[in-house]
């Protein structure tokens, strides 16, 4: 029997809450990706002078270090969200992101303070990693719980719509600065600080918007039950199959995502020989089309189920990743490069559009934010956060194509998970949130 802990939300309240959650997510990911988008300009500021690949390796290493905090963020924010609410955790995560962006914006350079400069950069990325680690699991949980069952794939896909939109805004600002407002010298000297100032200001706006969000009914019901069974690692370990499924389905997907979203800008410059401006333009246009694909594929999963979409990604990714990355490396025109990058992003859409809802549908409400956030963040730290570094390292040792094999192998492993898992649309724990007699019980 359904237990109504709160009055039913009106459609307007539901949409407003989804919008507020999504806008906050957009700001979070804008701040996160501004680092990657502007790395080609601020790398010499924080690190000793050297060749371009070496400096990019340094910034990629700091990018990877930021990912080390994401499991901590997934753990702490997941605990907080499952105990105190999705809304409270989402407000805290955006506040941390604001602090990290502001610190990067004002940090002195290596020539002024020596080794303290990269140390400050690392600390700022640790704050941002903590924020993003908590944002993903809580945001995925919030959007999935807030959406109605028949449109859950569609609405939850907006997590990646706003995620990509955040990256697009970072790239759009870069294009504007490159082509209209600043010279190349100004961008290298001080212009790279502008996106981090903008990010800090936008985070304040997102914090204000999230104050008006409604809490989800699933959390409201779970809160009325046994609080000892909410938000703990001990309870999470009662769901080993679900945890391992999150790890397995994320492994190939997150590596492919970072390979075709954040890395192409450097890949096109460092390997393809494109100018920084052309590489930025290719990335921006392809990401815009990729963003539009997310709700389409998410809505398709509401009709066909989640598993067929994931399997399609796994099969196509295993068969064509090597060819696509080789095509990007061999491209000599902007159009050729765009077609190859877009081909990779089209395949990756089978993962990105629905992975959040799949993970949320695996867990009961009392452990959902932690269950989604922690194993996901651990996997992203290992595979997504190191993608650029591994790619650049293989290039430096003269075996760049080995990275193509590495990505293909990881996608193939995830394909095995997709083939064996149940379709979460047909076995969604979210649909059972109001019917479970005790939050401590699990299937």
Residue with tokens 């905090």: 69
Q: Is the pLDDT of residue 15 over 80?
A: no
Helix axes 86-106, 116-146, angle to 10 degrees: 150
At residue 226, the pLDDT reads: 54
Counted residue by residue, the chain has a size of 443
Q: Are 210 and 202 in contact (CB under 8 A)?
A: no
At residue 442, the pLDDT reads: 37
Domains of the chain: 11-432 (1.20.1250.20)
Q: Is the pLDDT of residue 63 over 70?
A: no
For the chain, give the mean pLDDT: 81
Q: Is the pLDDT of residue 28 over 80?
A: no
Section 324-351 average pLDDT: 93
Hey, how many other C-beta atoms are within 10 angstroms of the C-beta on 322?
15
Q: Where are the alpha helices (DSSP H) in 47-157?
A: 52-68, 70-84, 86-106, 110-113, 116-146, 152-156
Residue with tokens 């640790």: 126
Of 116-120, 145-149, 308-312, 400-404, which one has max mean pLDDT?
308-312
Section 287-292 average pLDDT: 92
At residue 60, the pLDDT reads: 64
Q: Minimum mean pLDDT among 67-81, 278-292, 333-347, 371-385: which range? A: 67-81
Closest Cα to residue 34, out of 254, 182, 199, 164? Answer: 199
Bigger pLDDT: 3 vs 194: 194
Residue with tokens 């790398």: 43
Counting residues of the chain whose pLDDT is more than 90, the rounded percentage is: 21
Residue with tokens 């004002």: 106
Digit-coded pLDDT (tens) for 271-284: 888 887 788 888 88
Digit-coded pLDDT (tens) for 168-177: 888 788 878 8
Section 8-15 average pLDDT: 65
Confidence of residue 438 (pLDDT cuts 50, 70, 90): very low
Distance CA 261, CA 275 (A): 18
Helix (H, G, I), strand (E, B) or coil at 414: helix
At residue 423, the pLDDT reads: 85
Of 59-73, 260-274, 327-341, which one has max mean pLDDT?
327-341
Distance CA 162, CA 117 (A): 31
Q: Minimum mean pLDDT among 54-63, 232-241, 296-305: which range? A: 54-63
Q: Which two tokens stand for residue 80?
A: 């907080």
At residue 437, the pLDDT reads: 43
Digit-coded pLDDT (tens) for 394-433: 888 888 889 999 999 999 999 999 999 988 888 777 766 5
At residue 2, the pLDDT reads: 39
At residue 3, the pLDDT reads: 38
At residue 262, the pLDDT reads: 80
Q: Are 87 and 213 in contact (CB under 8 A)?
A: yes
At residue 439, the pLDDT reads: 37
Confidence of residue 178 (pLDDT cuts 50, 70, 90): confident
Counting residues of the chain whose pLDDT is more than 70, the rounded percentage is: 86
Bigger pLDDT: 33 vs 307: 307
Confidence of residue 245 (pLDDT cuts 50, 70, 90): very high
Digit-coded pLDDT (tens) for 99-127: 888 888 888 877 777 777 777 877 888 88
Section 71-88 average pLDDT: 81
At residue 62, the pLDDT reads: 66
Q: Minimum mean pLDDT among 5-19, 135-149, 186-200, 251-265: which range? A: 5-19
At residue 246, the pLDDT reads: 92
């Amino acid at each position: 029997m359904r237990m109504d802990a709160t009055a039913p939300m009106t459609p307007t309240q539901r949409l407003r809450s989804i919008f507020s959650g999504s806008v906050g997510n957009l700001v979070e990911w804008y701040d996160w990706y501004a680092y990657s988008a502007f790395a080609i300009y601020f790398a010499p500021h924080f690190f000793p002078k050297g060749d371009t690949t070496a400096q990019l390796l340094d910034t990629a290493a700091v990018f990877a270090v930021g990912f080390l905090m994401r499991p901590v963020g997934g753990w702490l924010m997941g605990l907080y969200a499952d105990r105190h609410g999705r809304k409270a955790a989402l407000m805290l995560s955006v506040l941390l992101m604001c602090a990290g962006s502001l610190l990067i914006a004002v940090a002195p350079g290596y020539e002024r303070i020596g080794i303290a400069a990269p140390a400050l950069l690392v600390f700022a990325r640790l704050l941002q990693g903590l924020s993003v680690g908590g944002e993903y699991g809580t945001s995925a949980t919030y959007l999935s719980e807030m959406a109605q069952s028949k449109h859950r794939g569609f609405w939850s896909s907006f997590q990646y719509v706003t995620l990509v939109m955040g990256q697009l805004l970072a790239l759009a600002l870069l294009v504007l600065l490159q082509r209209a407002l600043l010279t190349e010298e100004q961008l290298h000297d001080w212009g790279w600080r502008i996106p981090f100032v903008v990010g800090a200001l936008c985070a304040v706006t997102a914090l204000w918007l999230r104050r008006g969000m409604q809490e989800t009914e699933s959390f409201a019901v779970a809160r009325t039950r046994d609080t000892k069974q909410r938000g703990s690692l001990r309870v999470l370990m009662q769901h080993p199959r679900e945890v391992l499924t999150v790890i397995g389905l994320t492994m190939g997907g997150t590596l492919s995502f970072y390979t075709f979203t954040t890395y192409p800008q450097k890949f096109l410059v460092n390997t393809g020989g494109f100018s920084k401006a052309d590489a930025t333009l290719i990335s921006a246009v392809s990401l815009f089309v990729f963003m539009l694909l997310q709700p389409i594929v998410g809505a398709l999963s509401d009709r066909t189920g989640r598993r067929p979409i994931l399997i399609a990604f796994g099969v196509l990714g295993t068969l064509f990743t090597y060819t696509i990355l080789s095509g990007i490396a061999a491209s000599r025109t902007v159009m050729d490069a765009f077609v190859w990058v877009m081909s990779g992003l089209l395949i990756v859409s089978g993962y990105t559009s629905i992975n959040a809802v799949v993970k949320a549908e695996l867990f009961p409400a009392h452990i959902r934010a932690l269950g989604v956030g922690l194993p996901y963040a651990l996997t992203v730290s290992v595979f997504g956060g190191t993608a650029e570094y591994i790619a650049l390292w293989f290039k430096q040792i003269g075996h760049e194509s080995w990275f193509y094999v590495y990505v293909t192998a990881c996608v193939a492993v995830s394909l095995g998970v997709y083939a064996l898992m149940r379709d979460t649309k047909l076995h969604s724990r979210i649909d059972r949130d109001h019917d479970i007699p005790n939050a401590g019980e699990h299937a």
